[in-house]
Amino acid sequence: MREARDVAANANPEQTMADEKLTLEAVKKLAADIGMTRLNDTHLQDLLRATNAAHARRKALDMSGLTYADEPAHILDLTRGDTQ
């Protein structure tokens, strides 16, 4: 199962942060950009798989029933003392 994911993860040479499939080199650069500079090759493989899995989750968000006015689930509630 993991092998299959690795193959899929390395299949696409073009990438951006929101792309479905990143390469190891690309994810290494993205990680460094947010201060994750201590990742070894094993950690980067973990990050690559995790990022691709997260992108799949993002794609599965079904936003089709929402309008531009639909609000997030949690917003500041000033009746509960959030001003303090």
When asked if residue 70 is in the footprint of other proteins (CB under 8 A), the reply is yes
When asked if residue 8 is in the footprint of other proteins (CB under 8 A), the reply is no
When asked if residue 83 is in the footprint of other proteins (CB under 8 A), the reply is no
Nearer to other proteins, 13 or 29 (CB): 29
When asked if residue 53 is in the footprint of other proteins (CB under 8 A), the reply is yes
As a three-state string, the secondary structure of the chain is CHHHHHHHHCCCCCCCCCCCCCCHHHHHHHHHHCCCCCCCHHHHHHHHHHHHHHHHHHHCCCCCCCCCCCCCCCCCCHHHCCCC
The residue ranges that bind other proteins (CB under 8 A) are: 1-2, 17-18, 30-31, 34-40, 42-43, 46-47, 49-51, 53-54, 57-58, 60-63, 65-66, 70-74, 80-82
